[in-house]
Structure 1
Amino acid sequence: MAAQTSEGRTASFLVTLLRRGTPALATATTGLTDEIADPTPVRALQRISRMAGPVDARYNDGLLLRAARYVVLVPLAYRIVAVPGAFGAFVVAHGAQGALPVGLVALCSMAMSAFGMFWMLRRAPFRSGQAARLLIVDLVITVVFQLVIGLSVPSAVFHDALGVAEKHLLGDIALLTLAVGIPAGIGLAVLSLPVRLLSDWLNSGSADFTQAWSIYPTMFGVLFTGIGGLILVGLGTRLALAYGIRNGRLAERAQQHRMLHDTVLQTLEAISLGGAGDSRERLVEVQRLARAQAMELRQTIETAAAQRAEEGSRPLGEKLAALAAEMARDGLRAQLVISELDDDTLSEVRQIAIRDAVREALRNTMKHAGTDKVVVRVEERDGGIAVITRDHGTGFSTETRPAGFGISESITARLAEVGGTSLVESTPGNGTRVTLWVPF
């Protein structure tokens, strides 16, 4: 167990999980380190020890807390299946003898479990206080079932009848282990022994300790299964969160690199290329580019969300038309040819990926093709949208000139993130064709 901090908040995630049950998943996002999600192969126990490392035991992630509650659906579903199955076996073995009280126990058990599943799946906000009260009611009913059978069924069928109530008991042990933690599950298992002895005494006037103890191997199996499930769900969730955070950081870093490449770097390269005119005219041009770039960066930083909302109302055709107008201001004439498209077939994320990849392809044309004309064709193809940019510039050899950052990241990687592909075809003297495709 990790040493506590001065605030007394740091605790081992595994210990917290075993003590508190699935609600401890609400702490899983704290204390995550890059070592947990490091893809470098390590020993299994070393990986597990990292996942079981320290967390802030006082932190509660509301979303994880709500998601964790669904784990208890498993023991509830078990009771809905196992209790009527045990009752059916009882009726087959003993007929109508004791069937009425045992049937009522089975019916009440199924109703309680069904209500529990409904309560967990309903759309109302999750209330931990209400959940605690329901668990207490379920615990009381578990005890009552055994006492009712002890009082109401003939001694000849008592042990088989009690097997129906014990199915409910086993499900309750698993439920408490997952929902509250191992101490609660063990506590119910211990409590069940005197309850069973009392039920036996109410039925026959004597208590058979050996018979009462016979269910404990099954109880230990249920506890072991519940603990194993708890550990697998807890550590698996924490590993998944660590990988998600790591991949999110990498994706954010790649997006930032693409933004710098597609904005600042493009402007610096345009400045470095120079141009005709005296030094004063060149200085004015550099100032114009710097001012425009500063305005674009400010908009990107301060109004990114507003821009995405505005873009969301524009179909792909309008996005590309706006891009063509943007390129025209920089001296590239882009002829846009668009087939009839259904704007609702392509998600906004994929439309933006296509637009930004086309922007990079057009900027490459401006910098390297030696022409100010390009054709951009948009069409449906192979269950998706294809955008082809074609110029008749100088071209290049794809064998001798490897793909740079613009092609590999601003085009290929950007489309790969949304399930798309890109193909660059070029030969010296014959221009360049870039084919971009994303699925519907």
Structure 2
Amino acid sequence: MTAQERERPDGGPSFLVTLLRRGTPALATATTGLSDEVADPTPVRALRRISRMAGPVDPGFQDNLLLRAARYVALVPLAYRLIAVSGQFFGYLATRGSAGLAPVAVVTAGSVALSLLGVYWMLRRAPFRSDRTAWLLAGDLVATLVFELVIGATVPSGAFHDALAVADKHLLGNIALLTLALGIPAGLGLAVLSFPVRLLVGVINSGTADLAQAGSLYPPMLGVLFTAAGALIMLGLGTRLALAYGIRNGRLAERARQHRMLHDTVLQTLEAISLGPGDAPGRLAEVQRLARVQAMQLRQAIEAAAAHETEERSRPLGAKLTALAAEMARDGLRAQLVVSELDEDTLSEVRQIAIRDAVREAMRNTMKHSGTDQVVVRVEERDGGIAVIIRDHGTGFSARDRPAGFGISESITARLAEVGGTAGVESSPGSGTRVTLWVPN
């Protein structure tokens, strides 16, 4: 599919429908189908603006950066579960005392542990793995149903309803979590499934199926579903609008750059011609000289931009680093490049450029400080991403006596941080230095 087809996926599903069906992962399609009308600053009716933002998208396209950023939305229902379940437990403790306290405490501890695990999973530095996240969501769903059954099987009937309220808070949080992570069908499915489960819990606890008790949680369930759906809509439309404005401003900036280039070249020549013949031979010679110089500048600018775009888009990471090694060799640093077999299709162009530029900076540090003219650059897959290790056997240094500007400069860490990567340095006097760069796939 071409970039133009991605920009205007006519006949594709609505972004709003895709978002409600798939949850926050659908934000990865938000960059498709963005027309200039979405970011048009001209005042229009709110519903018209919203209809433009909710227009068709390409559901098969995924922006990996948006996909990774979208996962942080799950922190909201996880935080709700931590607060609500703990608060309900202390309310039960104040009301019922020690009656049925042990199973309620176990359910509370299990809920808090699952929520903390979810928060850790969202915030950890390791690469995001959607397959493992699916297993975590499945395990959390099973635990939600088990919590209800544990309360029904172990808590005395007199304290049953108060104890069940603790498990119900976890259930409500999980409905919100599934709605945001997987879409409204997933959240609604859990809400429907909870009815027969709550009937079964009532039978286990008292021997009777209490329809009123089983259905009593549906008003708050519908409230959670409505709130989560509203959050999805606001987040999705806001993201689309922000992206559209960013793309529009980028185009305006590029257009201004092109205008400056034309002003400084072609326009000057045309103005010189328009001044009239004057001293005809001298004027003609001056115009010819100016035209030659500016034609050369314009051609160089166009060719450089085209060559840069073609090179960076067509070369895999290994080829980019090979070209970099040749560039550094001209400056006197001999680099041995070792590239493992990589699945380079999974590494975005932005991350490849960030890695290349960070490697260049690390190699320049080697040239300035290591006392050696040889370095080994190894590229390999590691921890769901691509790692590049720059190793030299120079003088090395201790962390306490690190020379100014040596090791991991701010430019390296900043480049990698912008694309979700990390950088680290290991060195000791006489043992050389190892710089490790890593970016997620």
Normalised-by-shorter TM-score class = 0.5 to 0.7
Are the counterparts in 2 of residues 9 and 58 from structure 1 also a CA contact under 8 Å?
Answer: no
Counterpart in 2 of 1:244?
A: 246
Are the counterparts in 2 of residues 27 and 60 from structure 1 also a CA contact under 8 Å?
Answer: yes
TM-score normalised over the length of structure 1? 0.64
Counterpart in 2 of 1:65?
A: 67
Are the counterparts in 2 of residues 9 and 57 from structure 1 also a CA contact under 8 Å?
Answer: no
Distance 1:9 1:44, change over 3 A: closer
Cα distance in structure 2, aligned partners of 1:169 and 1:305 = 56
Counterpart in 2 of 1:146?
A: 148
Counterpart in 1 of 2:100?
A: 98
Please report how far the alpha carbon of residue 111 of structure 1 lies from its aligned counterpart in structure 2 after TM superposition: 1.1
Higher mean C-alpha deviation, range 294-303 or range 239-248: 294-303
Are the counterparts in 1 of residues 78 and 173 from structure 2 also a CA contact under 8 Å?
Answer: yes
SS in 1 for 2:38: coil
Distance 1:49 1:276, change over 3 A: closer
Cα distance in structure 1, aligned partners of 2:101 and 2:303 = 72
Counterpart in 2 of 1:377?
A: none
Runs of 5+ consecutive residues of structure 2 not aligned to the other structure? 1-8, 309-441
Counterpart in 2 of 1:41?
A: 43
Cα deviations across residues 100-133 of structure 1 (Å, max 9, x unaligned)? 2111111111111111111112222222211111
Q: Who wins on radius of gyration, i.e. which is larger?
A: 1
Please report how far the alpha carbon of residue 275 of structure 1 lies from its aligned counterpart in structure 2 after TM superposition: 9.1
Aligned partner letter, 2:146: V
Cα distance in structure 1, aligned partners of 2:84 and 2:137 = 19
Cα deviations across residues 230-252 of structure 1 (Å, max 9, x unaligned)? 11111111122122212222222
Cα distance in structure 2, aligned partners of 1:14 and 1:163 = 34
Aligned partner letter, 2:18: T
- 1:228-377 aligned at under 5 Å gives the runs 228-270=230-272, 272-273=274-275, 279=281, 281-303=282-304
Cα distance in structure 2, aligned partners of 1:230 and 1:59 = 19
In the alignment, is residue 118 of structure 1 matched against residue 117 of structure 2?
no
Counterpart in 1 of 2:206?
A: 204
- 1:15-30 aligned at under 5 Å gives the runs 15-30=17-32
Aligned partner letter, 1:284: A
Counterpart in 1 of 2:356?
A: none
Counterpart in 2 of 1:155?
A: 157
Cα distance in structure 2, aligned partners of 1:98 and 1:68 = 40
Cα distance in structure 2, aligned partners of 1:124 and 1:294 = 51
Cα distance in structure 1, aligned partners of 2:253 and 2:10 = 35
Are the counterparts in 1 of residues 11 and 56 from structure 2 also a CA contact under 8 Å?
Answer: no
Counterpart in 1 of 2:89?
A: 87
Are the counterparts in 2 of residues 9 and 56 from structure 1 also a CA contact under 8 Å?
Answer: no
Please report how far the alpha carbon of residue 80 of structure 1 lies from its aligned counterpart in structure 2 after TM superposition: 1.1
SS in 1 for 2:13: strand
Cα distance in structure 1, aligned partners of 2:280 and 2:185 = 83
Aligned partner letter, 2:84: A
Distance 1:189 1:48, change over 3 A: same
Counterpart in 1 of 2:222?
A: 220
Please report how far the alpha carbon of residue 294 of structure 1 lies from its aligned counterpart in structure 2 after TM superposition: 2.2
Aligned partner letter, 1:297: L
Counterpart in 2 of 1:128?
A: 130
Cα distance in structure 2, aligned partners of 1:262 and 1:155 = 86
SS in 2 for 1:212: helix
Cα distance in structure 2, aligned partners of 1:134 and 1:61 = 23
Distance 1:306 1:52, change over 3 A: closer
Cα distance in structure 2, aligned partners of 1:120 and 1:8 = 35
Please report how far the alpha carbon of residue 299 of structure 1 lies from its aligned counterpart in structure 2 after TM superposition: 3.2
In the alignment, is residue 170 of structure 1 matched against residue 172 of structure 2?
yes
Please report how far the alpha carbon of residue 304 of structure 1 lies from its aligned counterpart in structure 2 after TM superposition: 5.8
Are the counterparts in 2 of residues 14 and 53 from structure 1 also a CA contact under 8 Å?
Answer: yes
Are the counterparts in 1 of residues 141 and 174 from structure 2 also a CA contact under 8 Å?
Answer: yes
Cα distance in structure 1, aligned partners of 2:306 and 2:159 = 70
Cα deviations across residues 313-365 of structure 1 (Å, max 9, x unaligned)? xxxxxxxxxxxxxxxxxxxxxxxxxxxxxxxxxxxxxxxxxxxxxxxxxxxxx
Are the counterparts in 1 of residues 103 and 151 from structure 2 also a CA contact under 8 Å?
Answer: yes
Cα distance in structure 2, aligned partners of 1:18 and 1:286 = 63
Aligned partner letter, 1:33: S
Please report how far the alpha carbon of residue 164 of structure 1 lies from its aligned counterpart in structure 2 after TM superposition: 0.8
Distance 1:305 1:153, change over 3 A: farther
Please report how far the alpha carbon of residue 303 of structure 1 lies from its aligned counterpart in structure 2 after TM superposition: 3.6
Are the counterparts in 1 of residues 148 and 198 from structure 2 also a CA contact under 8 Å?
Answer: yes
Please report how far the alpha carbon of residue 185 of structure 1 lies from its aligned counterpart in structure 2 after TM superposition: 0.6
SS in 2 for 1:150: helix
Cα deviations across residues 376-401 of structure 1 (Å, max 9, x unaligned)? xxxxxxxxxxxxxxxxxxxxxxxxxx
Are the counterparts in 2 of residues 28 and 55 from structure 1 also a CA contact under 8 Å?
Answer: yes
Cα distance in structure 1, aligned partners of 2:302 and 2:91 = 68
Identity of matched residues, %: 71
Cα deviations across residues 119-178 of structure 1 (Å, max 9, x unaligned)? 112222222211111110110000011111111111111111111111110010001111
Cα distance in structure 2, aligned partners of 1:305 and 1:150 = 69
Are the counterparts in 2 of residues 25 and 65 from structure 1 also a CA contact under 8 Å?
Answer: yes
